Chains A and B, each alone.
Chain A
Amino acid sequence: MTLPVHCLIVGSRADVRRADPQAAGLLADAHALGVQHLAQLKCFTLFFLEGHLSVPQQERLAAELLSDPVAQTSAWRGVSGGGVAALNKPDTHVIETALRPGVTDPVAEQIVHYARVLGLSGVTRAATGQRFVLRGPLTDADLHHLALRLLANPVIQHYAFGPITPTFPQAAGSSESVEMLPIRELDEAQLMTLSRERRAALDLAEMQAVQAYFRTEGRDPTDVEFETIAQTWSEHCVHKTFKARISMIAPGGGSLEVNGLLRTYLRSATETIAAHWVRSAFVDNAGILAFDDEFDVAFKVETHNHPSAIEPFGGANTGVGGVIRDVLGVSAKPIAATDVLCFGPQNQALAAALPDGVLPPRRVRSGVVAGVRDYGNKMGLPTVSGAIWYDPGYTANPLVFCGCVGLVPVGSHPRGPQAGDRVIVLGGRTGRDGLRGATFSSMAMDAKTGEVAGASVQIGDPITEKGLVEVITRARDAQLYHAITDCGAGGLSSAVGEMASDLGAAVDLAQVRLKYAGLAPWEIWLSEAQERMVLAVAPGAVSALQTICAVFSVELTDIGVFTGDGRLHVCAGERLVLDLSNAFLHGGIPQRCLTAEPATAPGVRAAEMPVVDYAVTLLRLLAHPNIASKADVIRGYDHEVQGGTVVKPLTGACNDGPSDAVVLRPIGTRGLRGVVLSTGLNPEYGKRDAYAMALSVVDESVRNAVATGADPARLALLDNFCWGDPLRPATLGALLAAAQGCHDAALRYGAPFVSGKDSLNNEFLGADGLRHAIPPTLLISAIGQIEDVRCAVTTDLKEAGDVVYLVGEAAAEFGGSHLGLLGDLALAALAECSPVPRLPASAPVLYAALHAAMQAGRVRACHDLSEGGLAVAAAEMCLGGRLGLNLSLPAGEPLRQLFGECNGTLLVAVGPGDSAAFEAVLAGQLVRRLGEVTSDARLTISGAGTVLLSVPVGELVAAWNTPAGEGA
């Protein structure tokens, strides 16, 4: 029997909201997509309720549960006099959207529950949707275009012109069967066909290893076994490129053999540095560092690129959720989130030029930012540190780096499951969501990816994850578990597989709680449904854990036992569906052998020095989207929650100047010790010289942290490589060069790598056959410490009369500089034929001296020279402080001195009474007094007696606050 479905339409009251900002934003986006004759757009929310409901019951639901009568209007569909936009008017069109089956809809679940709380148990199921009323002479083609590119995402939503039929959570039609894959008899071509058909992303050598294993076992694998191997051996899970044996023909003849980039360059740097304060590097889900007597800090940065490309909100949302679970997986309480985002240019007039399957960059950006905001804010995590970078190379393949910092009591993270421990799953239920996410993220994308991989993406549920944090921190303090890991890529197969890699385990998939019936065993085992953690719990501790779970409404499921026989047994009820030796599953993958071509050194030629107006150039640089204020994004993130944000992402007299790093004093700690977070990123350098980029971004992250007060002797680094297809020798050669650069820079600064992640195959294969690869991108995230947060320093100028110094060897270069990105051909040519900046040998000693000056209270403001060079750094210090600066540069090329970019260099403001002491502490360093802070709110820079530029601070502020999409 089918039950009636009622639909409530909720909108804002016109008197409350004369202008709806959401509608205004969508209208602007529609115009940017080329639909100019859309004159007006109104947004409504739809609630679908299934069940027999009387009119008074409907009225109660509308008034008491589903709408806010003071601020909103509501009307049941089909009931007259609803006050909702009348149809049948000429030029009025309706598009409605609803979620596809299987997509998480936490609101719908709450509706059913609270209808019951109100005593209205007639509501059997609920769903939500959106309704858009559009005015204008629009064709059906326009409407489809708007629906697909703006209002709905076919990956997670369907749409209709007019009333939409919602899909309620329901059993899907799949059989619960287990398939046998006759792998033993296949030839090479057939093996590769099998790999492709099941989207396993395994190469021939790997398929042959699988085949050989099952020949030895004397049987064929089940689909559960094959899928488990494919996920466990995916690039995402085992990092086979970073572990591969690479041979490279050196430019001068001879060859270089590298047995694993990770081992040779990253881990070896950490081992050489051997810092006593590193508690865990590369072993756990996150890097762990000593903090104070009571606590350690954990830090992890992940990428979620491909999911964010096809469903920006859900991709970024679950990216944040995933990295939080990494930190929870080392028993740490999350205390901060970070995000670094790379998008296509926002002002591109490219509605028509986008390859099929690529979302418009504006939509990617707004969706990703909303996804990060939603998860971080709802988790009560301050999202504090980050960067946004725009480049056409990210149009089809945006990058979303999500980081999380956690605090864990010293020695409280247990790592040893015991034989006999129960395999306990905590958190959300398992659905078909996120299937094959690990292999999906290990392949290049094409126009069909969104369609095929639809199930790989989902919306997160941060409130469920918040419950996990509450439960796990309490369970940790009560010592209720022996080991813990998160369910990430590969789902249970990977989480249980890793935890049981020594002991072995027996699991019954019939015990796993499902969102809906009908999942095949391999789907249950591989599902990447979010918000789940796996714990090893002694049988006697399960009920105590259950008690905590009950308080926070977190589901606990016992799915099996850690056996001690070294094998992984998985049953679906009575039937054994997986029986693999751990030695094979975790050690059987053949090492890849790859070939690299050395990165060609960029051609450096003499170039004409263009003649430009320095003031105009400075303003254009300040307005460049990579440099300009990110306040619109930053203010959407709650960066104050937990009350520990000492240096905030924005700073200064009007709270709108840039910070080089953020400083956190974690709540619950006793002292005033702080965590310092900073980043380094520069794909412009990467395009020209991957090795030099690595040196530069390590330096930038270190320098940003030191500029804010971090102790340079106590900095740790995280690497995140986002690269193209490593099977292309030139691409791999650049990757190798960047890894070498990481190694060399880490040693230079004594800053160990403690965690990292690589995301390869960041390419989009267009329908035209063209490959769109991203620029070589290396993100370095630094985590430092400051003994007393009250010694932190911000970038804003503090007071007229303060003395300003340039410290460090300012060997400015134009290669990869932002001067070349202003759309000026002569400047672009200059950037093209110049080298990227090198790393001055003096930097580490300088940073130690600068830190000593800060500790002694001699520094009032400090800012690093980065994109846009000295002039931009000086301008940012002025606008932060709303004060002027009068600087005189020594003899030299003004363009290079003002806008050339360099490493190892900072501007420092010192109180006039402290200048002698400051100079004494920095004795022996390159320190040049450039001028002083003025009260006239004007930045004036002179060279050799001539005024090069003189700009009122108000103009600097205005330029720097240019919204992304309007700058150069």
Chain B
Amino acid sequence: MKPTALILHANGTNRDHEAAQALELAGAAVEIVHLSQLRAGERHMADYQLLVLPGGFSYGDALGAGKLMALDLTVYFADAVHEFIASGKPVIGICNGFQALVKAGLLPGSSGPSSATLTFNASGRFECRWVTLAPQPGACVWTNSLVDIIECPVAHGEGRFLMGDSADLVALQAGGQVALTYAFADGAPAGDAYPANPNGSVAAIAGVCNAAGNVLGLMPHPEDHLFSWQHPRWTRGRTHGLGLPLFQRGVAHAVQAA
């Protein structure tokens, strides 16, 4: 059965159509649904097999990127979201969606107050550039079986992943919750090296998952690298690191979890 992905749209969401394209290519049916339609009861989260929080500027990033959408999630949809996650269905938050998941306390995990945040890039600037992502072994159903690196753009001003408590970072790494890290083009870890690590994230973390591994959040945009002609060096014969396999893993998991 073809799983259906719910792509959440808040005021200011803008990469919903690319996320839809990625999931369709990966084998899912998709529906873009505005938060207000969920609130009005016109749609129900539980009717879907996969949840996507796409990129954009929900509410204009007023008061911090993803912050107000996170409040929507915690105030209006807390039960529905927790049930969705607890059922093991795959969830992905990309860029603004990642920011919302972190600020809602849904990533890296829901046990107690989190010391994780996504804050202003170390460069102080919004930056749009292509990066290389190295999938890490661990819990994440979206990434842990990926073999190849992913090359795709980042486009954000508040993507610096930090953990206020260093013990939390150790636990995150030990628990296999680091799903993706920034790397050099050859796949070697980027560490703090700018611009391979484009925002100064601690331990070059580009994406994290919850302990169960079904919720992934990441700053970069694998949904913007589905075709070889999107790569910045396709005219030089470089056609490498498509983002599609990541979405295929998520869709496969949705089929399993259903």
Contact = CB atoms under 8 A, between A and B. Distances in A.
Given A635-B128, A636-B125, A638-B155, A110 B235 contact: no
A637 B128 contact: yes
Given A66-B63, A68-B64, A110-B68, A118 B75 contact: yes
Interface residues of A, number: 68
A532 interface: no
A463 interface: yes
Contacts of A905: none
Contacts of B59: 110, 463
B229 A70 contact: no
Interface residues of B, number: 56
A466 B14 CA distance: 9
A55 interface: no
B75 to A, nearest CB: 5
Given A21-B124, A106-B60, A380-B56, A643 B162 contact: no
Given A21-B123, A643-B224, A646-B230, A635 B129 contact: yes
B226 interface: yes
Given A110-B62, A655-B129, A551 B155 contact: no
A180 interface: no
Given A65-B63, A70-B115, A110-B59, A651 B71 contact: no
Interface in A565-582: none
Interface string B104-125: 0000000000011101101111
A378 B157 CA distance: 12
A423 B39 CA distance: 30
Contacts of A380: 14-15, 56-57
A919 B111 CA distance: 69
Given A110-B68, A117-B75, A553-B36, A651 B155 contact: no
Interface in B147-170: 153, 155, 162-164
B68 A636 contact: no
A925 interface: no
Given A106-B62, A653-B236, A641 B14 contact: yes
Interface stretch (A194-202, A305-313, A791-799): A791-799
Contacts of B55: 641
Contacts of A66: 63
A71 interface: yes
Contacts of B64: 68
A719 to B, nearest CB: 30
A651 B221 CA distance: 19
B162 A16 contact: yes
Nearest to A554: B11
Interface string B72-85: 10010000000000
Chain B contact residues, majority secondary structure: mixed
A551 B14 contact: no
A651 B232 contact: yes
Contact of A22 (B124, B128, B153): B124
A463 B60 contact: yes
Contact of B12 (A466, A636, A650, A653): A466
B37 interface: yes
A636 B126 contact: yes
Nearest to B36: A551
Contact of B221 (A373, A377, A640, A655): A640
A90 to B, nearest CB: 29
B235 A789 contact: no
Contacts of A117: 71-72, 75
Contacts of A467: 11
B188 to A, nearest CB: 17
B155 A640 contact: yes
Nearest to A648: B232
Interface in A502-560: 550-553
Interface core residue of B12, B103, B127 (most chain A CB under 10 Å): B12
A24 B123 CA distance: 11
Nearest to B126: A636
B60 A462 contact: yes
A643 B57 contact: no
Contacts of B18: 641-643, 667
A466 B36 contact: no
Contacts of A731: none
Contacts of B129: 635, 655
Contacts of A881: 236
Interface string A458-502: 000111001100000000000000000000000000000000000
A169 to B, nearest CB: 15
A798 to B, nearest CB: 6
A852 to B, nearest CB: 19
A640 B224 contact: yes
A924 interface: no
B61 to A, nearest CB: 8
Contact of A789 (B62, B115, B122, B229): B229
Nearest to B65: A68
A467 B57 CA distance: 12
Contacts of B67: 65, 68
Interface core residue of B55, B155, B221 (most chain A CB under 10 Å): B155
Contact of B126 (A65, A72, A377): A377
A639 interface: yes
Interface string A24-36: 1100000000000
Contacts of A188: none
Contacts of A20: 124
A107 interface: yes
A378 B60 contact: yes
Interface in A642-682: 642-643, 645-648, 650-653, 655, 665, 667-668, 672
Given A21-B124, A70-B164, A636-B126, A641 B229 contact: no
Given A380-B56, A641-B155, A553 B11 contact: yes
A634 B21 CA distance: 26
Contacts of A553: 11, 36
Nearest to B156: A638
Given A110-B62, A110-B63, A643 B21 contact: yes
Given A72-B119, A641-B224, 15 more contacts: A65-B67, A70-B115, A71-B120, A377-B57, A461-B60, A466-B14, A552-B11, A552-B34, A553-B36, A640-B224, A643-B18, A646-B229, A665-B229, A672-B229, A789-B229
15 contacts: A21-B123, A68-B64, A68-B67, A70-B119, A71-B119, A110-B63, A551-B36, A639-B128, A640-B153, A641-B18, A643-B230, A646-B230, A650-B232, A793-B235, A796-B236
Interface of A: 12, 16-17, 20-22, 24-25, 64-66, 68-72, 106-107, 110-111, 114, 117-118, 373, 377-380, 461-463, 466-467, 550-553, 634-643, 645-648, 650-653, 655, 665, 667-668, 672, 789-790, 792-794, 796, 798, 881
